[in-house]
Amino acid sequence: MDRIYGVYQLFFDSFLLSGLTSGTPMTTSTTPKPRRRSHTRFTSIIAMIFIAALCTPPLPAARGVPHHKHDIKQEVEDLEQQWRTAQLAGDAAAMDKLLADDYIGISLNGQVNTKAQQIARISSRRAILTRLDLSEMKVKLIGEIAIVTSRAEVEGTSDGTSVKGTYRYTRVYQHEQSGDWKITSFEATRTPQPRSPR
């Protein structure tokens, strides 16, 4: 205990630069002990750093940049809803903002489309969805990549052919230098239909 108290005295006496250790009795001597300048200067620097660290407020988080996985997943889920709305409305301009320039998608009927081809299909109404209900959505984060898997109940037409059924799809988002998440890949697979009892 005496040792701990002695360390306590040494730290705070040095920090305050009093020249006297705590508990030192006052004497009638008028000749102060010489101080070593290097020790005093070093102690002053340490004290200034300590005080500055206490007084410096934490840096604010960058605006618009989520720092937690939950926030990123929520952002991607919101983009999924934007994609759904654009698909149902046939909004080519909104779809253009969502798709990356190197986008490759495999449609419900197995057709491979680039970004330009996908937007052209929507603009020309060759791909029309009248129902698109999403469920069982999951978002997996891998670095700057977000992988979305979901279940979709779909009704509509593709190149004049009726499309109706339950699909499982995978959509891949990439976080670009601009700070936006863009769809870079998409693939849908029709789930097996239950057999009707004989």
CATH number at residue 127: 3.10.450.50
Mean pLDDT of the chain: 78
Check residue 15 and give its pLDDT.
41
- Count up the domains in the chain and report the number: 2
pLDDT score, position 111: 86
Neighbours of 92 (CB within 10 A): 15
How high is the pLDDT of residue 135? 95
Q: Does the pLDDT at position 134 exceed 60?
A: yes
CB 84 within 8 A of CB 92: no
Same domain, 147 and 170: yes
148 lies in some domain: yes
Kindly state the average pLDDT of the residues 128-135. Answer: 94
Q: 82 and 128: one domain?
A: yes
**Domain region containing 111:** 69-190
Return the pLDDT at 139.
96
Share of the chain above pLDDT 70, in %: 64
Answer yes or no: do 45 and 96 share one domain.
no
Least confident of 36-50, 64-78, 89-103, 166-180: 36-50
Same domain, 42 and 91: no
Q: Give the mean model confidence (pLDDT) for residues 32-61.
A: 56
Report how far residue 134's alpha carbon sits from residue 74's, in angstroms, rounded to the nearest whole number: 15
Q: Are residues 89 and 153 in the same domain?
A: yes
| Residue where the block lists tokens 């693939």 | 187
Q: Say if residue 42 is in the same domain as residue 122.
A: no
In degrees and rounded to multiples of 5, residue 112 shows phi and psi of: -95, 130
| Residue 188 confidence (pLDDT) above 80 | yes
Which position has the token pair 């919101």? 78
Distances (CA, A) of 182 to 6, 32, 37, 115, 195: 62, 73, 62, 11, 38
Assess if residue 31 is contained within a domain: no
Beta carbons of 158 and 168 less than 8 angstroms apart:
no
